[in-house]
Amino acid sequence: MERECQVYGHTEFRNISRISIAHLYNLRRSNTYRGMTRRFTRTKPAVPKIGERAKPDPKGQPGYIRIDTIHQGDLKSQKGVYHINAVDEVTQWEIVASVDRISEAYLVPVLENMLIQFPFIIRGFHSDNGSEFVNKTVAALLDKLLIRFTKSRARHTNDNGLVESKNGSVVRKQLGYAYIPQRCAELINEFNRDFFNPYINFHRPCFFPVTVIDHKGKIKKTYPYEEVTTPYERLISMPQAESYLYPGVTLEKLRTIANQMSDNQFAERMVKGRSNLFQQISRFANRVA
């Protein structure tokens, strides 16, 4: 300010050039000065635009699946294999697969294989907010297949309740909680393909809810015994069931698979396959140890 006044002859700076440095700091700390110079911008939260927070509404049509991961234990800081469980909301058709890890490189090929194992066209894909599913790679896969991607809403713990209940009543019941090495994922997938998935879809009955409105107008779900049926029987009982199927899949082909064995006969076959699987896992674990 002194130079503006003395060197360049700008007289309008005469008064301010005589103010001490200390007083300038006092002026800058005043509310008037701060109100004139400060500008505040609200922080914008970085929300990843992957998936839609919504409860899927299948409108009584198959093809809207719920999906979740199950971890098969740890042993001495070694991670066990991961299971991927996908369940259709309407028919309860269920596909189980296993992966070494839940990173994108391992997960995406298994997801593609799982989606084509459903006999009907997949229209919706719902997961929780875990990064194994909520990422650009999975989103690109679903976008390529024209599948709507939704994820669980905040403070709605039941959004993925169907598949989470199946994790315990179906997958854990057959495979347990004990540690299984990651390298056994391919062995488990062979068991899933040949025994487990056919059993739970063609031979294992499920309870199906019926919505009832009581005299107070409250909506309740009941599970009458008359509605207990297998996912296959539920699918073929739907009006225009063939219109939901993948090209090349027919009701006659599904009927042939279902009638090859009775429920108990296939269950015995699955139990033998599971025993053989666990023996192979045990031999593998001992060889590695």
What is the tally of helices (H) and strands (E) in the chain? 13, 10
Least confident of 60-69, 101-110, 174-183, 256-265: 101-110
pLDDT for residue 268: 95
Does residue 67 contact residue 86 with C-beta atoms inside 8 Å? yes
Least confident of 24-33, 53-62, 75-84, 170-179: 24-33
Residue 40, pLDDT above cutoff 80: no
Does residue 64 contact residue 56 with C-beta atoms inside 8 Å? yes
Cα 81 from Cα 115, distance rounded (Å): 20
Cα 1 from Cα 8, distance rounded (Å): 10
Query: Percentage of the chain with pLDDT > 70?
Result: 98
Residue 5, pLDDT above cutoff 70: yes
- The residue-averaged pLDDT of 125-135 equals 89
Query: Percentage of the chain with pLDDT > 90?
Result: 56
The model's pLDDT over 247-266, given as tens digits with 9 standing for 90+, comes to 999 999 999 999 999 999 99
Residue 74's pLDDT band, with cuts at 50, 70 and 90, is confident
Greater confidence (56 vs 252) lies with 252
The model's pLDDT over 218-241, given as tens digits with 9 standing for 90+, comes to 888 899 999 999 999 999 999 999
Mean pLDDT of the chain: 89
Per-residue CA distances from 4 to 12, 18, 22, 25 (Å): 9, 12, 20, 20
Residue 56's pLDDT band, with cuts at 50, 70 and 90, is confident
pLDDT for residue 190: 95
Tokens in use for 161? 């309740």
What secondary structure does DSSP assign to 55-117, as a single string? ----TT-S-EEEEEEEE--EETTEEB-EEEEEEETTT--EEEEEES--SHHHHHHHHHHHHHH
What would the CATH number be for the domain defined by 55-288?
3.30.420.10
Residues in the chain, total: 289
Cα 265 from Cα 267, distance rounded (Å): 5
pLDDT for residue 196: 96
User: SS3 of 40, please?
Assistant: coil
Residue 288, pLDDT above cutoff 70: no
pTM of the model: 0.80
pLDDT for residue 2: 81
CATH 3.30.420.10 residue ranges of the chain are 55-288
pLDDT for residue 261: 93
Does residue 70 contact residue 167 with C-beta atoms inside 8 Å? yes
Residue 41, pLDDT above cutoff 80: no
